[in-house]
Amino acid sequence: MRQPRELILRLRLFLVSLSIILTVAGQVIYEPGVNVVTVVGKPGISGDRDGTGDEVLLDNVTGVAAIGQVGYAISISGTTAKIRKIVGRTATTIATFEAVRGKADLVGDPGRLSLLARGDGGTFSRINQSGSTIGTLNFSEYCAVGSDKAALPNDRRTLLSLLDLRSGNAIFLAGGTTPVRRDGVGESAGFESIVSSATADGLCYVNDNGAIRTVTFSGEVRTLLLSGGEYKDGDASDAKGFAGRPMAIDQGGNLIFAQGSFPTAIRRLSKNAIHTVAGSPNISANFDGEGFNARFSYIQGLAIDSDNRLWVADQNCVRLVTFPESEVSPPPQMAIRLIPGITVSGEIGGIYRIEFQEDVNDSWQLLRLVVLSRPDEEFFDYEARGRSRFYRVTPTNR
């Protein structure tokens, strides 16, 4: 009879193999050089506590924002919503308000050094970086602010306007009163149901019931990604999938969006092609690491900071995605929780540490299963200290 420990290892190998099979079948193309780290929070563990790193406990993290290099997160516990400011890996509560419908949104407005937040499904409050309310905005749906513009749907989600945040004036762009997906200009175009939007220089991106569509500031509407079909990366005209609500625009003007109704993958539209940044379209989990190894539990918010790092609201955690073009490296420490009582932490390209509450044979296999993508191209060397193992992982030149 096999030992339970061996069965666990075999199960983990099966899950990794299954993920690879599904990835190939779904034609996922990962962007190279992407890395994911957990900044604050504990995967799968709810709570309400400020602190640093995994000392922080969060309930349902429903949104993130960024101003400069500083991140912000909004989380809900019961009917209470809290906004936390995240500097490095330290989270501090700056505002508390009621979330009567169990929902809360958070949007950054870097141009005015403020946040837009709501906890009742209605009016957004403008909040300064200290947590004080300084005004209101009547957004009907989530919109990632770009420069001085925000794209606003009407209450029926079938019409889009463009709001100038400096003057407060809005102009009609496209759509009408009837739900219909139709490309065109102005009133000749139509939307089924605008779920979210993001604004870049001269262009609005709209999630129209899972489809990605563009709207120019002159009102021309085009469909880029149809909703539905088997997940497929590649040329934008041939890519498939169902876009989730979270959207953001990176510093290069490229659209970043979550994938699926319960998103577990992040994709980027750049140079008329759609590639997967990180996560898996099929697997819900919480692993840090390179983009193709990283896993997300439930992505509910995305935000880009001034260094082109992507902040992610992921269930009970806030996580950070860095790209090759990101100016600042992620926090050096990463934590990957495998099963209760076992923790892997370390720095990619340096030392990993695996800790466990009881003796575990072949502990290096736990590291291989989660951290490494190609174990045959890595060299392991370790030192044992009590119930901890320290590993140096060095890429080989094969």
- Same domain for 79 and 180, yes or no, is yes
- Same domain for 164 and 217, yes or no, is yes
Q: CB atoms < 10 A from the CB of 177, how many?
A: 10
Element (H, E) at 388: strand 388-395
Report yes or no on 211 lying in a domain: yes
Report yes or no on 326 lying in a domain: no
- Same domain for 205 and 293, yes or no, is yes
The pLDDT-based confidence of 328 (bands split at 50, 70, 90) is low
More confident residue, 21 or 47: 47
Report yes or no on 4 lying in a domain: no
**DSSP letters spanning 171-200:** EEEEE-SS---B-EEGGG-B-S-EEEEEEE
- Same domain for 296 and 357, yes or no, is no
- Same domain for 296 and 364, yes or no, is no
- Joined together, the tokens standing for residue 135 give 């005004």
Report yes or no on 120 lying in a domain: yes
User: Is the pLDDT score of 128 beyond 70?
Assistant: yes
| CATH code: domain of residue 26 | 2.120.10.30
**Distance separating alpha carbons of residues 21 and 33, to the nearest angstrom:** 22
Number of domains in the chain: 2
For residue 205, give its domain range: 15-318
- Same domain for 227 and 313, yes or no, is yes
Report yes or no on 77 lying in a domain: yes
Choose one of 318, 347, 365: the last residue of a domain: 318
Report yes or no on 383 lying in a domain: yes
- Same domain for 243 and 164, yes or no, is yes
**Vertex 316: Cα angle to 315 and 318 (nearest 5):** 90
Report yes or no on 329 lying in a domain: no
R_g (Cα) of the chain, nearest Å: 22
**Distance separating alpha carbons of residues 80 and 96, to the nearest angstrom:** 7
Lowest-confidence range among 30-44, 90-104, 184-198, 359-373? 359-373
The pLDDT-based confidence of 311 (bands split at 50, 70, 90) is very high
The pLDDT of residue 363 is 53
Closest CA to 64 of 49, 86, 48, 79: 86
- Same domain for 54 and 199, yes or no, is yes
- Same domain for 342 and 232, yes or no, is no
**Distance separating alpha carbons of residues 175 and 189, to the nearest angstrom:** 5
Give the tens place of pLDDT for each residue, 174-201.
999 999 999 999 999 999 999 999 998 8
Contacts of 78 (CB under 8 A, 6+ apart): none
- Same domain for 309 and 367, yes or no, is no
Closest CA to 99 of 115, 72, 84, 117: 117
Choose one of 318, 349, 382: the last residue of a domain: 318
Q: Compute the mean pLDDT over every residue in the chain, rounded to the nearest whole number.
A: 80
- Same domain for 342 and 388, yes or no, is yes
Report yes or no on 305 lying in a domain: yes
- Same domain for 193 and 302, yes or no, is yes
